[in-house]
Structure 1
Amino acid sequence: MSTLPTLATCGDPATVRIELYTPGSLDACAYTCAAHTVRASAAVAQAGLAAHVTGMAPDMKRSCGDVFVYPTGALGGAPADLTHPHWCNRDDCERRGRHRSRILRSDTNRPEAFIVGVALVQALHPAAEPTVRLTSVEGGAETSLVLSVGQSRVLRYRLANLLDMARAGRNGGRWA
């Protein structure tokens, strides 16, 4: 895990935002004046982080040397007893015995026979891999199917092909 580097501080108004990344995660933003941007970017790279220099929103007021660390990132100091993947909604993981993303519902805004939801889940064991949980509810009965991320990726492509075939029919482009 990388640590946050010490950046030069002059206190002048910041004109540049530097996004600090570890693999797969935006962890912090550092703010600098134009004079300290190159030095700050070099310090970030030496600390093992990726730096992406970008402009600042006109209404944002920061001083050169200010740093904001995102609590959900690798630098945020998550508790050692339970670290969460970046997609975890952090709601009651201990009780459930697994991490779970927010459940995404497939709402068509029309009456359907089933209510369908999908979420990422992962056991709390450090070596556990995330899986995709597809849940359907009809009345009071719930059925779940757990797929590996690889199976889910292939299913995504198969569904796209089937939907393309359904659209290509002689139905005037309308869903049958």
Structure 2
Amino acid sequence: MSTLPTLPTCGAPATVRIELYTVDSLDACAYTCTAHTPQATAAIGGAGLAAYPSGLEPGVSRPCGHVHVFPTGALAADPDHPRWCDRDGCRLRGRHRSRARQVDTNRSEASAVEVGLVRALHAGAETMVTLGGEATVLALSIGQARVLRYRLAHLLDLAVASRQR
């Protein structure tokens, strides 16, 4: 696993955003002034990370030297948490939990459904998929979730086919 190198910093307003990639994913963004971009890019490359400088989006203001590490990336890897864990309150809940993702069709629906991952803290616990609404949460094993995915795909194919008749 790569580690984040020490990057130059002067505190001036950043004009460049450098995306830092490991083999698997975008792991962090570093912000530099134009003068420090070559040094930062060289340091990032020397640490075994890929660096892709680009301009800042309008309205973004960061000081030179600011680094944002994405919590799901390899640079933030924590042996006590899976990469998908939101790391907030695990001990209190007694389990790791991903952020809930709403199943949203961008229409008003009669009910809302959220999906996520969950795993107990004890060694050997299996990761489960949770499906939930306002009152009920259903936990499925990864195998059950995989079969559900295929069953839903089949049902959606049937629904589309019946509309075309």
TM-score of Structure 1 vs Structure 2, range by shorter chain: 0.5 to 0.7
8 A contact 1:16–1:34 mirrored in 2: yes
Tell me the distance in 1 between the aligned counterparts of 2:17 and 2:156.
42
For 1:75-134, what per-residue CA distance to the aligned partner results, in whole angstroms no more than 9, with x for missing partners? 4596x7xx3334323343223321112344557723x7xx85432012324665533133
Tell me the distance in 1 between the aligned counterparts of 2:116 and 2:52.
30
- Post-superposition offset of 1:55: 1.6
| TM-score between the two structures when normalised by the length of structure 1 | 0.64
Structure 2 partner of 1:30:
30
Structure 2 partner of 1:85:
82
Structure 2 partner of 1:68:
67
What fraction of aligned residue pairs are identical, expressed as a percent?
A: 55
Stretch moving more, 86-95 or 49-58: 86-95
- Partner of 1:5, secondary structure, is coil
2:12 aligned with 1:15: no
CA distance 1:154–1:166, shift in 2 (3 Å): same
Tell me the distance in 2 between the aligned counterparts of 1:170 and 1:60.
46
Q: Which runs of 5 or more structure 1 residues have no equivalent in the other structure?
A: none
| TM-score between the two structures when normalised by the length of structure 2 | 0.67
Tell me the distance in 2 between the aligned counterparts of 1:124 and 1:18.
35
Tell me the distance in 1 between the aligned counterparts of 2:48 and 2:123.
23
Q: Which runs of 5 or more structure 2 residues have no equivalent in the other structure?
A: none
**Aligned counterparts, 1:43-54, within 5 A:** 43-54=43-54
8 A contact 1:28–1:67 mirrored in 2: no
Match among 145, 155, 161 for residue 168 of structure 1: 161
CA RMSD of aligned residues (A): 3.8
The residue type equivalent to 1:147 in the other structure is: S
2:59 aligned with 1:59: yes
State how many pairs are aligned: 161
Tell me the distance in 2 between the aligned counterparts of 1:20 and 1:102.
23
2:138 aligned with 1:144: yes
Tell me the distance in 1 between the aligned counterparts of 2:61 and 2:15.
9
CA distance 1:52–1:85, shift in 2 (3 Å): farther
Stretch moving more, 8-17 or 90-99: 8-17
CA distance 1:54–1:131, shift in 2 (3 Å): farther
- Structure with larger Rg: 1
